[in-house]
C-alpha cells in the first residue's frame, strides 16, 4: 500500500484553520508543561489528557464511525478500516481494531459518548464500556450506563474493568463463562533453548492462573536491605525460589494449596442467576463456575453476604482433611476421569454432589480429578458419575459453552 499516491487532506479554509489552531494549542501547552514544576506540572499533565488527548480521542471515534459507514477508506486501497488506521494513522493492529470497536459501540451509548467527549471519563474507560457492550449488547449497558459511568469517574481503568466484568457476569453469566473458557484455551508457556547463556520465557495465563502465580511469587518478592535489583530481577529471583521451594516440598496433594483468595457472594456459590462474578484478590474476576470449582477443594473462598460485597461474613476453607485425602488417594490412585492417569499430586478432591449444593466431604462423595478435568466438570459442563461397581464415567455437556479444542 505504501506505493499508493497519498492524497492531501481536504483543503477547505475551515479545515486548514482548525488544524492550525490545534497545532497552536499543542505548542502553547508544550510551553506550559516545559515551564511548570511541582503541583502545576501535575495539573498540566492532567489537563493534557482531560482537555486534549481524551476529547480528541472522542472526536477521533466519531469520525472513525462515519468513515466506517461511508467505506471511503477503500478509495485509498485499504482492505478494511483497521488496515487504513494502521497505515495512515500509524497505529498498531491492536490499537486500530480497538478504536474501530469503540467508535461502533459508542454510537449506541450516548451517555458514555458525551462523558468521553467532555473528558469526564478517559479513553481507557470508554474502551472498557465499549467492550462490555460488545460482550453483552449495548441495550444491557444502556440500562446501567449511568451507574457504570459514575464508577468510571471514581476509579482507574484497571479497577473499573473489575466493575464492568462483574456487570457482564450479572447480565450474561453464560457469556462471561464462555469468555473465561476462551481465555483459558489461549494459555501457553514456553521456555526457549539457551541462546548466549539466556533462556527466554514467554506465555499468557487466564485471570485465575495469573492470580495464582502472582500470589505464589508474593512471599519471595520482598526487597532485601539495600536491594539494587530491579522489579523484573526480583520477580525472576522469586520465580526461581518458588521452583526450588516447590520441588523440595512434600509430594502429596493434601494440605494447603498455593493460596488463591476469591471473594464471592453466597449467591455466586449457589449458582443463582444474576449473581456477581467472583473477585480475585489482587484484581480480576472469575465466573461463578470457577468459584464453585475452588469451593470444591483447594482455594480459600471469602464468602460475602447476599449482594453485600463489602461485608465479609466468614471464611471457608474446603481443603480436605489429611486422613480423608489419604483414603481418597489410596482408593482412586489417579484422576478418575475415563482415560486419565494423572497422579494424585495433580489432583483435587472433587465433590460428586457439589459442596455448594450440600454434598458431604466424605469418601463416597469424593473423587480425584486432575486440574484440567476438574475444570471441565465445573466450567465446561461435563458430568462425572460414579457407578455401583466403583467405576466412573463422564457425560459430555448438553450445550456447548466451549471453545473448539480442549487440552486434557
The contact set with Zn ion (CB under 5 A) reads: 296, 335, 337, 340, 342, 350, 370, 373
Instruction: Please provide the size of the chain in residues.
Output: 408
Nearer to Zn ion, 60 or 346 (CB): 346
Closer Cβ to Zn ion, 216 or 377, answer by number: 377
Min dist. Cβ of residue 406 to Zn ion (A): 12
Minimum CB distance to Zn ion, residue 342 (Å):
5
Which of 73/337 has CB closer to Zn ion? 337
Q: Which C-beta is closer to Zn ion: that of 129 or that of 384?
A: 384
The CA distance from 124 to 102, in Å, is 10
Side-chain-facing half-sphere of 328: CA atoms under 13 Å = 30
Q: How far is the CB of 181 from Zn ion (least distance, A)?
A: 16
Give the residue with the Cβ less far from Zn ion, 207 or 296: 296
Nearest approach in angstroms of CB 294 to Zn ion is: 9
What is d(CA 82, CA 92) in angstroms, rounded to the nearest whole number? 9
Nearer to Zn ion, 68 or 297 (CB): 297
Least gap, CB of 295 to Zn ion (angstroms) = 8
Smallest separation, CB 369 to Zn ion (Å): 6
Amino acid at each position: 500500500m505504501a506505493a499508493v499516491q497519498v492524497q492531501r487532506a481536504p483543503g477547505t479554509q475551515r479545515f486548514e484553520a482548525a488544524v492550525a489552531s490545534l497545532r497552536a494549542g499543542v505548542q502553547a501547552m508544550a510551553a506550559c508543561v516545559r515551564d511548570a514544576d511541582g503541583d502545576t506540572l501535575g495539573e498540566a499533565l492532567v489537563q493534557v489528557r482531560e482537555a486534549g488527548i481524551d476529547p480528541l480521542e472522542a472526536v477521533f471515534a466519531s469520525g472513525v464511525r462515519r468513515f466506517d459507514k461511508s467505506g471511503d477508506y477503500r478509495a485509498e486501497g485499504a482492505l478494511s478500516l483497521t488496515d487504513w488506521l494502521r497505515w495512515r494513522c500509524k497505529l498498531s493492529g491492536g490499537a486500530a481494531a480497538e478504536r474501530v470497536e469503540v467508535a461502533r459501540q459508542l454510537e449506541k451509548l450516548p451517555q458514555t459518548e458525551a462523558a468521553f467527549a467532555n473528558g469526564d471519563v478517559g479513553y481507557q474507560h470508554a474502551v472498557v464500556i465499549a467492550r462490555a457492550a460488545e460482550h453483552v449488547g449495548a441495550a444491557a449497558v444502556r440500562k446501567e450506563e449511568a451507574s457504570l459511568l459514575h464508577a468510571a469517574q471514581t476509579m482507574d481503568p484497571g479497577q473499573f474493568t473489575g466493575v464492568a466484568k462483574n456487570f457482564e457476569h450479572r447480565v450474561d453469566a453464560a457469556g462471561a463463562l464462555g469468555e473465561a473458557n476462551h481465555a483459558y484455551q489461549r494459555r501457553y508457556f514456553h521456555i526457549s533453548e539457551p541462546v548466549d547463556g539466556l533462556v527466554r520465557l514467554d506465555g499468557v495465563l487466564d485471570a485465575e492462573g495469573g492470580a495464582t502465580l502472582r500470589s505464589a511469587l508474593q512471599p519471595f518478592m520482598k526487597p532485601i536491605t539495600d536491594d539494587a535489583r530491579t522489579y523484573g530481577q526480583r520477580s525472576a529471583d522469586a520465580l526461581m525460589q518458588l521452583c526450588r521451594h516447590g520441588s523440595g516440598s512434600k509430594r502429596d496433594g493434601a494440605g494447603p494449596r498455593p493460596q488463591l483468595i476469591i471473594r464471592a457472594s453466597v449467591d455466586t456459590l449457589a449458582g443463582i442467576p444474576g449473581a456477581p462474578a467472583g473477585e480475585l484478590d489482587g484484581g480480576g474476576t472469575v465466573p461463578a463456575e470457577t468459584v464453585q470449582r475452588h469451593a470444591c477443594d483447594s482455594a480459600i473462598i471469602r464468602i460475602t453476604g447476599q449482594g453485600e460485597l463489602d461485608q465479609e461474613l466468614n471464611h471457608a476453607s474446603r481443603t480436605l482433611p489429611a486422613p480423608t485425602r489419604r483414603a481418597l488417594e489410596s482408593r482412586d490412585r489417579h484422576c478418575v476421569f475415563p482415560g486419565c492417569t494423572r497422579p494424585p499430586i495433580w489432583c483435587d478432591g472433587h465433590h460428586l454432589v457439589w459442596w455448594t449444593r450440600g454434598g458431604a466431604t466424605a469418601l463416597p462423595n469424593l473423587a480425584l480429578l486432575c486440574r484440567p478435568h476438574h475444570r471441565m466438570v465445573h466450567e465446561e459442563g461435563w458430568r462425572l458419575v460414579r457407578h455401583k461397581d466403583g467405576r466412573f464415567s463422564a457425560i459430555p455437556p448438553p450445550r456447548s459453552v466451549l471453545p473448539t479444542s480442549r487440552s486434557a
